[in-house]
Amino acid sequence: MRGVGFVFVLVSLLGAIATTSFASTVTYDHRALVIDGKRRVLISGSIHYPRSTPDMWPDLIQKSKDGGLDVIETYVFWNLHEPVRRQYDFKGRNDLVKFVKTVAEAGLYVHLRIGPYVCAEWNYGGFPLWLHFIPGIQFRTDNGPFKEEMQIFTAKIVDMMKKENLYASQGGPIILSQIENEYGNIDSAYGSAAKSYIQWAASMATSLDTGVPWVMCQQADAPDPMINTCNGFYCDQFTPNSVKKPKMWTENWTGWFLSFGGAAPYRPVEDIAFAVARFFQLGGTFQNYYMYHGGTNFGRTTGGPFIATSYDYDAPIDEYGLLRQPKWGHLKDLHKAIKLCEAALIATDPTITSLGTNLEASVYKTGTGSCAAFLANVRTNSDATVNFSGNSYHLPAWSVSILPDCKNVALNTAQINSMAVMPRFMQQSLKNDIDSSDGFQSGWSWVDEPVGISKNNAFTKLGLLEQINVTADKSDYLWYSLSTEIQGDEPFLEDGSQTVLHVESLGHALHAFINGKLAGSGTGNSGNAKVTEDIPVTLIHGKNTIDLLSLTVGLQNYGAFYDKQGAGITGPVKLKGLANGTTVDLSSQQWTYQVGLQGEELGLPSGSSSKWVSGSTLPKKQPLIWYKTTFDAPAGNDPVALHFIGMGKGEAWVNGQSIGRYWPAYVSSNSGCTSSCDYRGPYNSNKCLKNCGKPSQQLYHVPRSWLKPSGNTLVLFEEIGGDPTQISFATKQVESLCSRVSEYHPLPVDMWGSDLTTGRKSSPMLSLECPFPNQVISSIKFASFGTPHGTCGSFSHSKCSSRMALSIVQEACIGSKSCSIGVSIDTFGDPCRGIAKSLAVEASCT
């Protein structure tokens, strides 16, 4: 093997977990990671253990393995595991050891990204808030107090893994670890201390003697033996900082995160496949999807601020644990095609030649006869036909064809053989004792949350205080309360007793109450968390009470010095007279503060308090109300969601566990979305958007493992007013299967090489398979061979359409769990000679 590798001596064989019986040696050289002396092409995917439940982990990991992954990558979330200094939590969704062992049981490797800064759209970037209060601390720089805490936590995680024999050097699955995270994106802001900090972090990590390599992502100056890696939508042009290190991609963003107030981003699979193929075409050997399963931001774990509760990320496995098709299937085919090339990929470096303008061939050829080629068309709007090694190949724009034998195409990234699946949410009755149409319309009880100060631990201070320093993020909420006297001769009363309350806040949202009544609200957004509001208010003679409820929506998680970005009402707060422009600044007066809500202190989220009130008139469309009801779990095993139609903003708990913040009142902009998204050309997070002009999120995941068959408790805290009787539960099901395959598609990758074996040319195949056990294809909703119009769910016939298509597909598929049909005129006849034809089918399963 060419290049000099850094060797990590792996010695311990004791206590190796059941799935592996021998320790492995993990090293690297300039081409790849080297496991037990053999270079490996590795496909990885991110699954964050706290964004799903332990009951979901085995299925998620198995689906990842079935999709062609070799490695599961996860961050380690410091603020989950050490919420209070030196008090640790590794139970339930926080059971890191169990998660790693579950990956091992599936026969996959693990990349453990300890960080401990994670970004990840996670609250405070994964740092616990108590760090903020350590005297003299400065985050992520050459600072003694910070480095001490970072080393203590990193060492604790490493020691936990060692005690359970989870490193590959001990026979476990962990083949890589990461220290720090994307620091190179912002390190210039920290000056010369950044370089010494990175040197220290690398030295500290390697001193922990894990026996496996460490990486630093987005860190061009990562010191040896750290492997510097790439994050981004595309990493084909990335070059490591040493000829001794392999080209690795630690985050290939499969979509983008959803923000409250934003439209939903998505990324076409053709573009992802193009990016992956280009990476391996140009010398890469380790690629990770961020995310492969995104999951859910339960509780108050979102960062941002304004990150939504759903962290679906348009990943190949969706938030609920179901396969997103055709994304999952097309990437599975891609992985198979790449693995067909592995022997050539690991043996040598590519030879790259131009086939024309923005047309390129990369060939991996060995002296032992292995040969693999990648043919790329990097044009954004024009297909091309190229000549390569004496043969002609059609390359759609923005695509790569993979030839594992340098001759026959196993896959083109723009031509999808995998079927699409159309999901739907079906409402279900959750109460056995009521009519199914009743839903959640009866059985509610409630508790009013007091406006203003109601707890004994309130305190007074002169001036306005920054929120995070007061709450330490123990709650989203902080009350600012002030009583002020209005005399009869005050200028505010000259124009119908009307004034304007001017409030400025660092964010993230606020509600203003005058004499106990909601006067107005304001909110920031994901681009600017700050709030400035002029709220018309009516004051009375004498004493007036101003109560301002400030709230956070996840703390900042990214950027230089992000930990110093505050929140809350820091002012000024002013009363502006409408008659003659007179203004009174209230900012420096004596304010009374209350951290959190009375309902939080009373334990209302558990649903067990004696404070709940029932009656014939349920209060609706009123601010600051806690609601409670009971329900039965939906029948079956389909994933469950709460549909928050009719609600405003708040948080929800099921059987005492928070499913996260809800905010259907925050509607996305009407602009920016398109009916379809062209995969061709560079992707960015605003290129492909859907759900414009609608609530950013209305459906909220409730894990099945949190539900009992009956007697479940749902608790809501509603901030701004809603109607809980409109809430419903829904189960996520499959509505249709669809596929569209042309005569010019490559064969399914599983059939690659069959022509060589049989000596005759095979036709492309359209395949359908019901996604769940015990299902069969029960109907064919559409079938056309010719030039059908539309997409899945909206196919229609053209003038060119075989009259035999429907009957042929019905005969091949109905009553079977799966079926495959040859896409050729031999099967369907030729409805229009000389025209390229496709077969489009939509089916349903029961």
The neighbour count for residue 818, using CB atoms within 10 Å, is 14
Helix (H), strand (E), coil (C) string for 180-200: CCCHHHCHHHHCHHHHHHHHH
Q: Say how far apart CA 735 and CA 327 lie, in whole Å.
A: 17
The residue written with tokens 């059985």 in the block is 443
- Residues paired with residue 684 on neighbouring β-strands, in sequence order: none
What's the sign of the alpha-carbon dihedral 614, 620, 624, 626?
A: positive
Q: Helix or strand or coil: residue 58?
A: helix
CB neighbour list of residue 162: distance below 8 Å, 6 or more residues apart: 170, 210
Closest CA to 205 of 196, 213, 193, 195: 213
Instruction: Work out the end-to-end distance of the chain between its first and last CA atoms, rounded to an integer number of angstroms.
Output: 54
Which residues make beta-bridge pairs with 287? Answer: 43, 249
| CA 771 to chain centroid | 23
Coil, strand or helix at 517: strand
93 in helix, strand or coil?
A: helix
Rounded to an integer, what distance in angstroms lies between the CA atom of residue 225 and that of residue 342? 25
- Given a contact cutoff of 8 angstroms between Cβ atoms, the answer to whether 499 and 537 are in contact is yes
Farthest CA pair distance, the chain:
101
Residue 251 falls in the annotated catalytic set: yes
Identified catalytic residue from 180, 251, 449, 718: 251
Q: How far is Cα 151 from Cα 127, in angstroms, rounded to an integer?
A: 13
DSSP of 127-163: --GGGGGSTT--TTSS-HHHHHHHHHHHHHHHHHHHH
Beta strands 542-551 and 509-514: pairing type? antiparallel
Cβ–Cβ < 8 Å for 272, 252: yes
Residues of the chain under the 50 pLDDT cut: 1-21, 430, 432-438, 495-496
SS3 55: coil
- HSE-up (13 A, CA, CB side) for residue 763: 18
Which residues, 6 or more positions from 55, have their beta carbon under 8 angstroms from its beta carbon? 703, 704, 705
Supply 307's token pair. 């990150």
Cβ neighbours of 61 (radius 10 Å): 25
Q: Give DSSP secondary structure letters for 40-56.
A: E-EEEEEE-GGGS-TTT
| Rounded (5°) CA angle 558-178-273 | 80
What is the chain's percent helix, strand, coil content, to nearest 5? Answer: 20, 30, 50
Cα 100 to Cα 88, 110, 647: the distances in Å are 18, 7, 39
Alpha helix segments (H runs only) across 537-608:
598-601
Catalytic residue among 180, 182, 342, 718: 182
Q: What is the pLDDT of residue 615?
A: 83
Helical segments of 341-471, H only: 342-347, 467-471
According to DSSP, residue 10 is labeled -
